[in-house]
Structure 1
């Protein structure tokens, strides 16, 4: 005999899909005779009908991936998504650049290559983001004749 209606009722009671209803093969006759919901509930209580555990998603691959990334792997061109600009911290980049330019300006002032007044002007320009690099700063100094006359 078919256990379709019993399986459907059990699935409804256990709040799972019909595929996740386990029926004890030893007690199939008892299940066949169960007609009402009460009968099914009694069989569930007796352990004749049970809920099959849901299969989860394994975290093993995710753990392996995390470990590889922690070791600095998976960073090649093929693993990157998004624009190159999305992978860099623009603020950190700017801070590094400005610090380098300010360091060079300080050196030029201490070596008396530029005047204090010129230093101050260039310092403020550096703050405003006028210079893209130290080379850019030097080019600006040359083209505008800001070197101190010896």
Structure 2
């Protein structure tokens, strides 16, 4: 009967990947990022060092542009560079406002 095909072995039941594939597609589109889907803290998801590096690189790039365009002198550039390293400026706009108000 086995050789005749009347009796056959049942396939083992496994875990379906359908939901996992669907979720992966959605994540690729940038979905599933809401509050209910987050496990780690704000700092675990985007570390404070990474945030700092992103901010300081933008500020330093703008500072160099300002120096090259002669909006600030070399002495002012050095002072502003040190201030930015100390965390004085929140973002690039804050730096620009500071320079604008100081030159008036």
Band the TM-score falls in, shorter-chain normalisation = 0.5 to 0.7
Q: Describe how 1:118-129 pairs up with structure 2 within 5 A.
A: 118-126=76-84, 128-129=85-86
Question: TM-score, normalising length from structure 1?
Answer: 0.47
Q: 5+ unaligned residues in a row in structure 2: which ranges?
A: none
| Root mean square deviation, CA, Å | 3.7
Q: Which runs of 4+ in 1 moved over 3 A?
A: 44-52, 89-92
Q: Is the 8 A contact 2:26 2:32 kept in 1?
A: yes
Give runs of aligned pairs for residues 100-119 of structure 1, distance below 5 A: 100-102=58-60, 103-104=62-63, 106-107=65-66, 110-112=70-72, 115-119=73-77
Q: Specify the structure having the higher radius of gyration (Cα).
A: 1
TM-score normalised per structure 2: 0.62
Q: Distance in 2 between matches of 1:51 and 1:101?
A: 68
Across the two proteins, how many residue pairs are aligned to each other?
98
Q: Deviations over 1:97-137 (max 9, x none)?
A: 1133221464277224xx422311332443x3433424278
| CA 120–59 in structure 1, closer or farther in 2 if over 3 Å, else same | same
> Which consecutive unaligned segments of at least 5 residues does structure 1 have?
1-23, 25-43
